[in-house]
């Protein structure tokens, strides 16, 4: 755990230190989010925060390769090349979009290319870690992998509508996933507790934590598409690695159900972004509009419309993410009954915070998201 904590700290510090440089680049290159009638921010705000996040990710992986505890993970470099290389492609695509506002088809093609590169390097969603059952053909799983990664990238992009929201949600959800992956690796491995999935999740949490001080309300910089797509890509990659690294036959009866959680936990982490994206696409298609047509009806916009302040709306989204993500991850250590009861209590608390008396009286103007 100390080694992973060190990697997390490296990712956080590097990202924090590089973010002012990313902000300077955004101002110099014209990657600035202007103020429109539908927006929350009061002054034009630079984006390109994803550049700093990628810098933190790259340095963290380079430093991890020099640590004896994790050195074995780099014996087969293909998965790491797939993750870091794919992240570089996604970040470059996002930087181009932050500067020049690419059309949706160009972005989609770039996302598919990055996901395809990840699959080409062997990071494939190819098994359900239950009783050693392999489902589908290799071509099927390449397709499923690409679709999963693209959906995750766009889900995070859709939810990135308030200062600190996407980075905080991924930090909280990633922390739950990190703890689960670490505990599951200890429960299924003999002697060697190093894990690529745990390493990737430590880096993910680190870059989110390092970026948050600059992005919390009122934000000095936005992550932009370069950041939101990067976070979605890394989360999807970590989830895919978990399903492929665990030997189902080595899982004891005590942890046999948690071994299936890698399929469910990423959905719990991204449930709010996925729900928001699904509702947005359905809503726009019913109205005869493009799925990428911006509006003011996202989940976080609805919280603002209920009268919550900017900070309170973000905090409520954090609470929902923590309840759902840690609720699923808790299956690794607690009984199903205990987890269901505790999660139920958490849902009640989150609901009271969402609809309770803490709301303000005057709705806040909301920012349109993708």
What was the pLDDT predicted at 29?
A: 94
**Which of 369, 319, 318, 306 is closest to 347 using CA atoms?**
319
**Which of 33-42, 107-116, 176-185, 294-303 shows the highest mean pLDDT?**
107-116
Query: For residue 287, what pLDDT band results from cuts at 50, 70 and 90?
Result: confident
Determine the pLDDT at residue 134. 53
Q: Which residue has the higher pLDDT, 342 or 281?
A: 342
> Which residues 6+ apart lie within 8 Å of 295 measured at CB?
280, 283, 284, 368
Whole-angstrom distance, CA of residue 140 vs CA of residue 340? 34
- Calpha distance 45→23 (Å, rounded): 9
Distances, alpha carbon 162 to alpha carbons 67, 150, 157, 217, 368, in Å: 37, 22, 11, 8, 10
Is pLDDT larger for residue 164 or for residue 39? 164
- Cα distance between residue 185 and residue 181, in whole Å: 6
345-351 mean pLDDT: 94
Tell me the percentage of the chain whose pLDDT exceeds 70.
82
Q: Which residues are CB-contacts of 180 (< 8 A; sequence separation ≥ 6)?
A: 258, 261, 262, 265, 328, 329, 332
What pLDDT, on a 0 to 100 scale, did the predictor assign at position 252? Answer: 44
pLDDT at site 315? 93
pLDDT band at 273 (very low <50, low <70, confident <90, very high): confident
Q: If you count them, how many residues does the chain have?
A: 370
Compute the average pLDDT of residues 243-271: 60
**71/246: higher pLDDT:** 71
| Span between the terminal Cα atoms of the chain, in Å | 38
Residue 33 pLDDT: 79
Give the torsion sign (CA, 120, 125, 129, 134): negative
Say if residue 6's pLDDT is above 90: yes
Instruction: Check whether 253 has a pLDDT greater than 60.
Output: no
Find the mean pLDDT for residues 14-19: 98
- For residue 54, give the nearest of 271, 306, 292, 223 by alpha carbon: 223
Percent of the chain surpassing pLDDT 90: 52
- pLDDT at residue 136, as a whole number: 60
Does 268 have pLDDT greater than 50?
Answer: yes
* Predicted local distance difference test score (pLDDT) of residue 267: 81
CA 370 to chain centre: 17
Short-list 242, 288, 284, CA closest to 261: 242
Confirm if 111 and 150 have CB atoms less than 8 A apart. yes
What's the predicted TM-score (pTM) here?
A: 0.89
Q: What is the pLDDT confidence band of residue 362, given thresholds at 50, 70 and 90?
A: very low
Which pLDDT tens digit goes with each residue over 98-156? 999 899 899 999 999 999 999 999 898 765 544 445 556 678 888 989 999 999 999 99
Residue 187's CB: how many other CB atoms inside 10 A? Answer: 18
Lowest mean pLDDT among 106-110, 211-215, 239-243, 324-328: 239-243
Q: Quick one: CA torsion of 347, 350, 352, 358, rounded to 10 degrees?
A: 180
Summarised one tens digit per residue, pLDDT across range 295-327 is 677 777 788 778 888 899 999 999 999 999 999
């Amino acid at each position: 755990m100390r080694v992973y904590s060190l990697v997390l700290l490296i990712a956080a510090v590097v990202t924090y230190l590089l973010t002012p440089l990313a902000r300077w680049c955004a101002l110099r290159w014209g990657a600035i989010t202007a103020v429109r009638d539908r927006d929350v921010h009061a002054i034009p705000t630079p984006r390109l925060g994803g550049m700093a996040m990628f810098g933190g990710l790259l340095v963290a992986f380079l430093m991890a390769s020099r640590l004896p505890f994790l050195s074995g993970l780099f014996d087969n470099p293909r998965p790491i090349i797939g993750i870091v290389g794919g992240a570089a492609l996604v970040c470059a695509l996002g930087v181009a979009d932050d500067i020049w506002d690419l059309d949706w088809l160009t972005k989609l093609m770039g996302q598919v290319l990055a996901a395809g590169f990840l699959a080409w390097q062997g990071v494939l969603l190819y098994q359900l870690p239950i009783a050693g059952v392999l489902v589908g053909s290799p071509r099927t799983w390449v397709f499923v992998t690409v679709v999963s990664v693209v959906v995750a990238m766009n889900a995070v992009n859709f939810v990135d509508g308030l200062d600190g929201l996407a980075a905080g949600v991924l930090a909280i959800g990633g922390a739950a996933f990190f703890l689960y992956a670490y505990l599951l690796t200890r429960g299924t491995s003999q002697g060697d507790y190093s894990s690529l999935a745990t390493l990737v999740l430590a880096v993910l949490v680190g870059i989110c934590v390092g970026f948050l001080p600059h992005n919390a309300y009122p934000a000095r910089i936005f992550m932009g598409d370069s950041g939101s797509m990067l976070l979605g890509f890394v989360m999807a990659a970590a989830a895919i690695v978990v399903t492929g690294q665990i030997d189902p036959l080595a899982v004891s009866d005590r942890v046999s159900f948690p071994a299936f959680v890698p399929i469910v936990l990423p959905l719990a982490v991204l449930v709010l972004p996925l729900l928001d994206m699904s509702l947005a696409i359905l809503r726009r298609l019913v109205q005869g509009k493009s799925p990428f047509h911006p509006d003011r009806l996202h989940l976080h916009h609805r919280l603002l419309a209920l009268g919550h302040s900017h900070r309170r709306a973000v905090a409520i989204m954090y609470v929902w993410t923590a309840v759902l993500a840690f609720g699923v991850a808790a299956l690794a250590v607690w009984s199903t009954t205990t987890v269901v009861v505790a999660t139920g209590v958490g849902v009640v608390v989150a609901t009271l915070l969402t609809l309770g008396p803490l709301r303000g009286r005057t709705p806040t103007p909301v920012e349109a998201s993708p």
